[in-house]
Amino acid sequence: MEKYRLALIGPGHLNGIVAQAYQDGLLPEFELVGVLGRSDERTRTFAEHFNCQACATIEELMALKPDFTSEAASPQAVRDYSEHVLRSGSNLVVVTAGAFADADLYQSVQQTARETGKRVYIASGAVGGFDVLRTAALMSPIKATMTSKKSIRSLFYSPLFKSHYPFITEPERAFTGSTTEAIQQLPFHYNVAVATALASAGPDQTTLNIDVVPDFVGDDYKIEIEGDEIKTELNIYSRTPRIAGWSIVAALQNAVAPIVF
């Protein structure tokens, strides 16, 4: 059986999970062909470990003729590479969905996918239940709210940090606003919020609350959806960011599966 060629954008921890899953036989329909990264040394080390080609430019990566490209790098990588990947004949799996809070970028990538006949798969990251969210949004207008618990340390270098946070003993709300407003302040923290918003009411219409919690470890998300005919609540806790890498593996499996859940 001819295998789908898989390329990776980003030689970091998350795509490392994807590459390891491939080596462990969890992606038997795929052949890992190359990886692109900003650091030559890190990219070469990754490529040598996982037996694929290290690439310095997106043109070099696309020259490998991938059928699927997994992005796990940054919002800027999504902006810079998405349309090039699609026009090169590759489907794209995106985990840094925060870039799509930019409505113009989202519409442009969507149009390019239509023109090329390729697909963009948004990996669920640390959340889930996209099927329920999309179904609810189709049934009637909905109100969508996501509440996130974050550690004091995770906000330390962000605009949301306040000097008294290291001394709090009870949870305190650090932010409330639209998902679009949140991602502008925390572009690397709320990819999951944008992915959830895109699957439900949209980034401008989805409210995001961020609570800073003393001694908290991990990521905790509560998603509330309410419409005329449906009301649902999803609670997801992840002790580590590894779930985001595994969500890419799940997206790749679903993309080529004969039965999709």
pLDDT of residue 193: 80
Residues 143 and 114 in one domain: no
pLDDT of residue 112: 98
Q: What is the CATH number of the domain that holds 33?
A: 3.40.50.720
13 is a domain residue? yes
48 is a domain residue? yes
Residues 115 and 138 in one domain: no
Q: Which domain does 58 fall in, by range?
A: 4-122
Q: Which residues pair with 215 in a beta bridge?
A: none
pLDDT of residue 167: 95
pLDDT of residue 188: 57
Residues 108 and 142 in one domain: no
Residues 104 and 137 in one domain: no
pLDDT of residue 64: 98
Residues 16 and 110 in one domain: yes
For the annotated binding site, the residues are 126, 191
Residues 55 and 32 in one domain: yes
Measure the CA–CA gap between 212 and 172, rounded to whole angstroms.
5
253 is a domain residue? no
pLDDT of residue 126: 64
pLDDT of residue 187: 61
Per-residue tens of pLDDT for the chain, all 261 residues: 789 999 999 999 999 999 999 999 999 999 999 999 999 999 999 999 999 999 999 999 999 999 999 999 998 999 999 999 999 999 999 999 888 888 899 999 999 999 999 999 998 876 777 888 888 888 888 999 999 999 999 888 888 999 999 999 999 999 999 988 887 777 656 777 888 888 888 888 889 999 999 999 988 999 999 988 889 898 888 888 888 899 999 999 999 999 987
252 is a domain residue? no
Residues 134 and 110 in one domain: no
For the annotated binding site for NAD(+), the residues are 126, 191
Residues 189 and 213 in one domain: yes
Residues 189 and 118 in one domain: no
105 is a domain residue? yes
Q: Out of 122, 139, 162, pick the residue that ends a domain.
A: 122
Q: What is the CATH number of the domain that holds 223?
A: 3.30.360.10
Domain count of the fold of the chain: 2
- For the chain, give the secondary structure using H, E and C: CCCEEEEEECCCHHHHHHHHHHHCCCCCCEEEEEEECCCHHHHHHHHHHHCCEEECCHHHHHCCCCCEEEECCCHHHHHHHHHHHHHCCCEEEECCHHHHHCHHHHHHHHHHHHHHCCCEEECCCCCCCHHHHHHHHHHCCEEEEEEEEEECHHHCCCCCCCCCHHHCCCCEEEEEEEHHHHHHHCCCCCHHHHHHHHHCCCCCCEEEEEEEECCCCCEEEEEEEEECCCEEEEEEEECCCHHHHHHHHHHHHHHHCCCCC
Residues 79 and 177 in one domain: no
**Which residues, other chains included, contact 14 with Cβ-Cβ below 8 Å and sequence gap of 6+?**
72, 95, 241, 244, 245, 248
211 is a domain residue? yes
92 is a domain residue? yes
pTM above 0.75, yes or no: yes
77 is a domain residue? yes
Residues 102 and 153 in one domain: no
Residues 116 and 13 in one domain: yes
pLDDT of residue 203: 82
